[in-house]
Amino acid sequence: MKNFDEFSKPEEYISPMDKHIRSVIRNWADKEVMPYRRKYDEDWKDHHIIEPAFDKLMGNSGIGLQKALFPPELGGWGIGQSDSAFTISCALAEEVGRADTAMAVAFMVTYWPLTTILVEPHVNWRLAKEFAPMFCNAEKAVFAANAMTEPQGGADIENLELTGGKTIRTVARLEGDEWVINGHKLWPTNSGGVAKLFVVPCTTKPGSTDLKDFAMIFVPAETKGVTQGGPYEKAGMAADKNSDIWFEDVRVPSWYRAHGPSMDAQIFREIIPWGLAASMGFMCGAMLNLYEILYDFVSTKTYKNKPLKEDDHIASIIGRIAGDIDICRILSYEAAKMGDRRNKPYGYPIYSDEVACKMRNLKDFVSDRAVDIFGKAMDVLGPYGADREYDIEKHWRDIKIIQLWMGGKQLCQMEAARYFFNCKTL
């Protein structure tokens, strides 16, 4: 194999933009991230080192990726309206994830709330126009966040089919032409003072199981009554800040609700495949980086005075690692394509079980493989495996977090099983 670009991609799916986007981001990664990333762990609170790299990636002083989803007429690149939106996202996730999956998630979660108003067929032009300047005209990185998880329920909120939104305690009350929001959210990526814009899944009628009462409402971070805590300290992913957010009588215009009754619940369901596809992309990116590092290692370190890779048994171990990377990449692109088929006659809408549950299965699988091969790679490195200088252990810590987020492994398992076997009570 010539290099990591040779890992299998379903060539027929690849967008014409792929090569260009990759090379731009790879250049950024090699210059702005790779030389500094070993210091990120200690920068988790302040982002002194991390922030400039974000600016070069997302803001107009750099690549300007944060505007990519917006329509060209509002200053963006129009990816939200592209037939390859998922596939392109997969490439973005890979390339940024190769450098740092935490940066990848912080960057791409900025798209997450915006998908609900910028991606065909659900473009909400009024909101798109309202928020376009915030992202498209900024020199520096501007972040958004999806304030989903609540203290009592963990990822229960993602289990909307089962709970019907009954457990949601963040409440939006319509007063005149304003929503008044009260509640407490935990853990969203880009909280801890990072995000300029939140979308807040909430209920308009506490305790209701009617999905019409479920709402997704946009809240600019500087709105009065929004308070963010300091970032949590975590085992990894220093570039991604998470914290508590409290909403106390927060008032936003009534048209800040993404789409309205019923459609908001559908839209909420639609953001899940985006999160899953991106998660797979992040992990593939980290795995590509793993391969680069491992390749060098097994070619230069020896066992029995031969390079590690020339020992048949060790070759079988690293061969399995590379083989799994190949497989995960195929699956991630296939998952992305499931999303991109949403408007095709042979495709399914992204709020459908077909897409969501199959993707849950794929994300669960890719996560398991990633957790496994990073653990195995550390063992291949032996005493160097846990050493930060070799850049693998950091991914190992981050990858586990990706496995656990968005409801974690068991939710994926249940959604997949429910779909494949038409279970009624899971």
Partner 1 sequence: MNKALDELFVYPKELVDEESKRVIHLVRQWADKEIISKRQEYRENYEKLFIETRKSLNLTIGLQRLTLPEEHGGFGWNNPANAPGIASILTEIGRADAAIGVAAAVKYTILAAITMAPNFDKALCDALAPVYCGEELKTFSLILPGMGNIGQDTPLFLGRSILASVEAESDGYVVNGKDLRPINSGAIADLFCVVCADKADKPCIALVPGDNANVVRGKTLLETGLNASSNADVSFNNVKIPKSYVISRQGVVEELYTWLNLLLGGVSVGTGMNFFEMVGDWSETRTIKGGYMMKENPLCASVLADVADEVFTSRLFLYDLAQTISKPNDWGQSGSQRVYTIAQVIGSKIQQNVMRAINRGLELMGSAGYSKEWHVEKHWRDIKTIQSYLCGVGAEAPVKMDTARFFFDCKDI
Point out which residues bind its own copies (CB under 8 A): 1, 6, 8, 10-13, 291, 295, 298-299, 306, 309-310, 312, 315-316, 318-320, 322-324, 326-327, 330-331, 334, 337-338, 341, 344, 346-347, 354, 358, 361-362, 364-365, 410, 413-414, 416-426
* Residue number with CB closer to its own copies (36 or 348): 348
Q: Find all residues with CB under 8 Å of 123, minimum gap 6, and list them.
A: 71, 80, 81, 117
Assess 414 for contact with partner 1 (CB under 8 A): yes
In the block, which residue shows the tokens 């020992």?
A: 311
Assess 269 for contact with partner 1 (CB under 8 A): no
Partner from partner 1, its own copies, none contacting 421, C-beta within 5 to 8 A by type: its own copies
List 81, 208, 223, 413, residue binding partner 1 (CB under 8 A): 413
Query: Which among 52-60, 306-314, 337-345, 352-360 is the span making contact with partner 1, rule CB under 8 A?
Result: 306-314
Which helix (DSSP H) or strand (DSSP E) does residue 383 occupy? Answer: none
List 235, 248, 254, 343, residue binding partner 1 (CB under 8 A): 235
Burial of 86 (C-beta count, 10 Å sphere; 0-12/13-18/19+):
buried
**Residue 33 is encoded by which pair of tokens?**
């991230």
**Least CB distance from residue 371 to partner 1, whole Å?**
7
Assess 207 for contact with partner 1 (CB under 8 A): no
Partner from its own copies, partner 1, none contacting 397, C-beta within 5 to 8 A by type: partner 1
Partner from its own copies, partner 1, none contacting 21, C-beta within 5 to 8 A by type: none
Residue 402: name the closest of 157, 236, 249, 257 by CA: 236
Residue 337: name the closest of 359, 364, 360 by CA: 359
Length of the chain: 426
Assess 169 for contact with partner 1 (CB under 8 A): no
Assess 150 for contact with partner 1 (CB under 8 A): no
Neighbouring C-beta atoms of residue 360, cutoff 10 Å: 28
Q: How far, in Å, CA of 49 to CA of 278, rounded?
A: 24
* Residue number with CB closer to partner 1 (142 or 392): 392
Q: Find all residues with CB under 8 Å of 73, minimum gap 6, and list them.
A: none
Alpha carbon dihedral 22, 27, 31, 33, in 10-degree steps, equals 0
Question: Around 232, how many Cα atoms within 13 Å sit in the side-chain half-sphere?
Answer: 15
Assess 295 for contact with partner 1 (CB under 8 A): no
List 312, 346, 421, 424, residue binding partner 1 (CB under 8 A): 312
Distant-in-sequence contacts of 71-76, Cβ < 8 A, 24+ apart: 71/118, 71/123, 71/128, 74/128, 74/129, 74/132, 74/136, 75/132, 75/133, 75/136, 75/137, 76/118, 76/132, 76/135, 76/136
Assess 293 for contact with partner 1 (CB under 8 A): no
Query: Which among 47-55, 228-236, 282-290, 355-363 is the span making contact with partner 1, rule CB under 8 A?
Result: 228-236
Binding site for partner 1 (CB under 8 A): 38, 41, 149, 152-156, 159, 162-163, 166-167, 186-187, 232-237, 242, 298-305, 307-308, 311-317, 371, 375-376, 378-389, 393, 396-397, 400-401, 403-405, 408-410, 413-414
